[in-house]
C-alpha cells in the first residue's frame, strides 16, 4: 500500500476539532500524524505573540495568539487566561464543530500491553458516541463496549443510558499529581494500564485533567470554561479541575454522562514541583471549601440550557465562594463574560478571523 495515497476517512473527520495550547514548536505532532493528520487543528499560542510557532507540514490548522484573542473578543478577552494552558478554552469558543479533543504538547502516543500504538482520538470518539450510565453503576463498567453488557439486576428502564458529554482519558508514565505528591514521590511513574471505561456516577465529582480530553461541544461546550489562571491571578493548575466541577454539576442537572478511563496517552514530561507548588498552594487550601460548595450546589429547574445553568452557577460562586476570597468574585464575573463571549461568537455565522490558516 506504500504507493497508494488514498487514506481511509477517519470517523467524525468534519465534526471534530483538535485544540492544542502551546508556547513551543509542535514537533510532537509528528508522532500523532497517523491519527491527527486528517482532522482540523486549532492551536492557541500562549505567551509572547511575536514568537513564531512552527507546525509540521501537512496539518490543517488555524493558530490564534494573544493579539488574535484580543482582536476577536475585544474587552471580553479579559476572561481568557494568559501564560497558562487555560487559554485552550478560547479554541473551544471559536470552533464550529460538534466535538472537541484537546491534548497537551508533551503528550505522546502510548502503547497498550500488546505493544500496539493507541489511537487515543478514536477511543474518545467511541466513548462520546455511546451512551453513559450515570444513574446506576454497572459492575462490568461500560456496558456498551464490545464483550460487555448490563449485569443481572441492572434496571431495564435505565439501559438506554444517557447522552455522553465528556470523555476523560488517562496517562501512562508521568501521573497527573499535585506538587506535594510530586515532591514526596519524584520518581513514581504510572505503568498500570487498566482496560476500562467507567461512567462517573451522578452526584460524584472528580478531578478533570485537560491534557487528554474529549467532549461534545454542542452539548456541554459553554460549561467548559477553564477559569482565570496564570498571569495576574493568585492561582494556577486548577483550570481543568474548575471546568470539571462546573461541568459535572451541570451534567448531573441536565441528565448527561461523563466517562473516564481509556484512552491512555504517554505523558512525557514532569513539570517542576516547586513551580507547581507556588501555583497550587492557594488552590490546595481553597479546595476544602470548593468541593463542599460544588457537592451541595443545586440548579433550579428553570435552568434548561447550559448557558442558564452556568450563569446561575456563577451567581452562586459569587455569593458563597466570594466569602472565601475576593478572587472568586472576579472569577464569577469572568464566568458571565465567558458566556456572553461564547454566545456572541456562536449566535449568527462565523465572526472569528484567523491569524494563520493552512
Boundaries of every domain in the chain: 16-345
What pLDDT was estimated at residue 194? 98
Is pTM beyond 0.85? Reply is: yes
Q: Which residue has the cell 481568557?
A: 80
Q: pLDDT tens, 118-165?
A: 999 999 999 999 999 999 999 999 999 999 999 999 999 999 999 999
What pLDDT was estimated at residue 270? 87
Measured in whole angstroms, the distance separating CA 258 from the mean position of its chain's CA atoms is 12
pLDDT at 351 over 60: no
Q: What is the rounded distance in angstroms from the CA atom of residue 106 to the CA atom of residue 104?
A: 6
Q: How many CA atoms lie less than 13 Å away from 221 in the CB half-sphere?
A: 24
DSSP letter (8 states) at residue 87: G
- pLDDT, average across residues 109-113: 98
Q: Which residue has the cell 490543517?
A: 60
CA angle in degrees (0–180, nearest 5) for 151-152-158: 70
Closest CA to 42 of 121, 97, 115: 97
Q: How confident is the model at residue 357 (pLDDT cuts 50, 70, 90)?
A: very low
Specify the 3-state DSSP secondary structure of 56: coil
SS (H, E, C) 121-142: HHHHHHHHHCCECCCCCCCCCC
Does domain 16-345 fall under CATH 3.30.1490? My reply is: no
What pLDDT was estimated at residue 5? 62
Angle between helices 273-296 and 239-254 (to 10 degrees): 20
Amino acid at each position: 500500500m506504500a504507493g497508494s495515497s488514498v487514506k481511509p476517512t477517519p470517523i467524525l473527520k468534519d465534526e471534530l476539532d483538535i485544540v492544542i495550547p502551546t508556547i513551543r514548536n509542535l514537533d510532537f505532532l509528528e508522532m500523532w500524524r497517523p491519527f491527527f493528520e486528517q482532522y482540523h487543528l486549532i492551536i492557541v499560542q500562549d505567551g509572547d505573540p511575536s514568537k513564531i510557532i512552527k507546525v509540521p507540514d501537512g496539518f490543517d490548522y488555524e493558530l490564534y495568539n494573544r493579539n488574535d484573542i484580543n482582536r476577536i473578543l475585544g474587552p471580553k478577552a479579559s476572561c481568557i487566561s494568559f501564560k497558562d494552558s487555560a487559554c485552550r478554552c478560547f479554541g473551544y469558543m471559536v470552533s464550529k464543530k460538534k466535538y472537541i479533543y484537546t491534548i497537551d504538547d508533551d503528550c505522546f502516543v502510548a502503547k497498550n500491553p500488546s505493544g500496539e500504538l493507541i489511537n487515543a482520538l478514536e477511543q474518545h470518539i467511541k466513548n462520546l458516541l455511546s451512551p453513559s450510565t450515570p444513574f446506576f453503576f454497572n459492575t462490568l463498567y461500560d456496558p456498551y463496549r464490545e464483550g460487555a453488557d448490563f449485569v443481572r439486576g441492572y434496571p431495564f428502564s435505565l439501559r438506554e443510558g444517557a447522552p455522553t458529554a465528556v470523555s476523560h482519558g488517562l496517562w501512562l508514565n508521568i501521573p497527573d499529581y499535585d506538587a506535594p505528591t510530586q515532591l514526596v514521590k519524584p520518581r513514581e511513574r504510572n505503568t498500570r494500564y487498566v482496560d476500562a471505561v467507567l461512567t462517573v456516577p451522578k452526584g460524584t465529582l472528580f478531578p478533570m485533567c485537560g491534557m487528554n480530553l474529549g467532549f461534545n461541544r454542542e452539548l456541554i461546550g459553554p460549561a467548559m470554561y477553564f477559569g482565570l489562571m496564570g498571569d495576574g491571578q493568585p492561582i494556577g493548575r486548577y483550570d481543568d479541575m474548575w471546568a470539571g466541577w462546573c461541568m459535572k454539576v451541570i451534567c448531573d442537572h441536565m441528565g448527561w454522562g461523563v466517562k473516564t478511563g481509556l484512552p491512555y496517552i504517554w505523558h512525557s514530561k514532569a513539570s517542576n514541583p516547586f513551580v507547581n507548588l507556588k501555583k497550587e498552594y492557594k488552590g490546595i487550601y481553597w479546595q476544602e471549601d470548593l468541593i463542599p460548595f460544588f457537592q451541595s450546589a443545586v440548579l433550579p429547574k428553570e435552568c434548561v440550557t447550559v448557558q442558564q445553568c452556568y450563569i446561575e452557577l456563577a451567581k452562586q460562586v459569587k455569593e458563597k465562594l466570594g466569602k472565601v476570597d475576593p478572587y472568586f468574585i472576579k472569577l464569577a464575573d469572568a464566568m458571565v463574560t465567558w458566556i456572553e463571549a461564547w454566545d456572541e461568537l456562536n449566535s449568527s455565522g462565523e465572526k472569528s478571523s484567523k491569524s494563520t490558516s493552512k
